A and B are shown apart, each in its own frame.
Chain A
């Protein structure tokens, strides 16, 4: 029988801190020494810090199994879900909030910015969930929607270098969702979605860094979806070009 206590090691967790009213130009980092085991995750370490060392440390989490998408953050500069990101080997690990989103407190970012992008795109990607057809919807919820495999964690937006320099960019998640509608319209006309995303701030803004697909914890492959969306948009343009104005 293995003695788990002997497998514990101490690692220094450097956490980016920010509270309301702090000057965002001068980020602060606090360090905590935490005992971690071979199967410890970043979320385990953060929970340990909060329980035993610093109750003011704030971060989001819920399901602990990469399903809810709430614990997205950057670990040593790379995006991931804290609940399934192992504490890396080494003496120190740096934990920061997702990039390209406003920070509310410590590791908690304002996801409204992320969701607003869907609104700006007209939410063509959201479809009424067929999984609950015939079932009841809880009071206070107008309708249930589903978004395929995307868990709306915001990791793709944080990893994208173009989103890091252009706030007008629709972003990988919304584009990937738009492609799902085009790929599988289920009787609907995908034309309006293609035209909506056939824009310099939408499908054509991507510069193929492929970081979104590499970082996505759900295998959505936003970059691949964007490329296929481009192809559909280009084909639609060619069709319009040769339709002599008949199908604009």
Chain B
């Protein structure tokens, strides 16, 4: 029987099952670098949120000393101070991981990126702990 000279049929397949942007935040199956990728995005979004929150709070100044003093009283309460610790931790993680991303992203210490990440996160943890003690101690 003669073989057909037609092009072989390409197998039918659906669209690529991409994880999408939501998949960036899926920690299942991820390793250290993948977790750093997730945390960097979460802290980045948190810092952007804080920036707008900060600008909003600063706008209280235009309402006079009363409004500002009321806010300062709230800002010195323990739950708010805990948010300060969260903010400090987020800044440290994002900033220090950013140094790693900048260095490794230009081909420096690429072979040591894992050790660099662990070292920087240890620094972040220590500084955040000292910061927390200072924030609550004062």
Contact = CB atoms under 8 A, between A and B. Distances in A.
A and B are partners in one complex rather than unrelated chains: yes
A102 interface: yes
Contact of A102 (B13, B23, B30, B31): B13
B13 A104 contact: yes
B16 A227 contact: no
B23 A214 contact: no
B86 interface: no
Contacts of B34: 159, 161, 209-211, 214
The range of chain B's interface size is: 20 to 34
Contacts, number: 117
A105 B19 CA distance: 19
A99 B14 contact: no
A227 B31 contact: no
A123 interface: no
28 contacts: A20-B12, A24-B15, A24-B17, A76-B29, A97-B17, A99-B17, A99-B18, A99-B19, A102-B13, A102-B15, A103-B17, A104-B13, A105-B11, A110-B11, A112-B10, A163-B18, A165-B18, A165-B19, A165-B24, A167-B16, A209-B37, A210-B31, A210-B37, A210-B114, A214-B34, A223-B110, A227-B105, A229-B107
> Closest 10 A-B residue pairs measured CB to CB?
A231-B107, A210-B33, A77-B29, A102-B13, A164-B19, A209-B37, A78-B29, A110-B13, A227-B110, A77-B28
